Amino acid sequence: SSELTQDPAVSVALGQTVRITCQGGSLRRSYASWYQQKPGQAPVLLIFGKNIRPSGIPDRFSGSSSGDTTSLTITGAQAEDEADYHCHCRGNNHMVFGGGTKLTVL
């Protein structure tokens, strides 16, 4: 079982805002990072640290955290945002991923 818990599936209407959450005790000691993965592709880094986006990631993606929960927010979801989203952080001497959230854009 994963030490980070994500909802398996979330949906959002085109252009609306959606929040994807990730919960786990390790998040109290380490910032999470978020990855987007489309079918047949490798994950792509979306957010790391205290809401830092790598170059090329649209600013509609943002991250936040509070206690043992971290969130990825997509403000104005686009059709191309339909994908799997994975959270990650460091546990005790190991790395851990959430189970992933499948986002459907309606």
Partner 1 sequence: QVQLVQSGAEVKKPGASVKVSCKASGYRFIAYYIHWVRQAPGQGLEWMGDINTNSGDTNFAQKFQGRVTMTRDTSINTVSMDLSGLKSDDSAIYFCAKSKSYCSDGICYHYFDYWGQGTLVTVSS
Given the rule CB under 8 A, which residues bind partner 1? Answer: 2, 29-31, 33, 35, 42-45, 48-50, 54, 86, 88-90, 93-100
Please, what is the minimum distance in Å from the beta carbon of residue 98 to partner 1?
7
Q: Which is nearer to partner 1, 76 or 99 (CB)?
A: 99
Please, what is the minimum distance in Å from the beta carbon of residue 14 to partner 1?
26
Q: Which is nearer to partner 1, 62 or 76 (CB)?
A: 62
Under a CB-based contact definition with an 8 Å cutoff, are residues 5 and 22 in contact? yes
Greatest distance between any 2 Cα atoms in the chain: 40
Distances from the Cα of 74 to the Cα of 3, 91, 94, angstroms: 24, 26, 28
* CA 75/CA 5 separation, integer angstroms: 22
Please, what is the minimum distance in Å from the beta carbon of residue 73 to partner 1?
18
Q: Which is nearer to partner 1, 76 or 90 (CB)?
A: 90
* CA 43/CA 47 separation, integer angstroms: 12
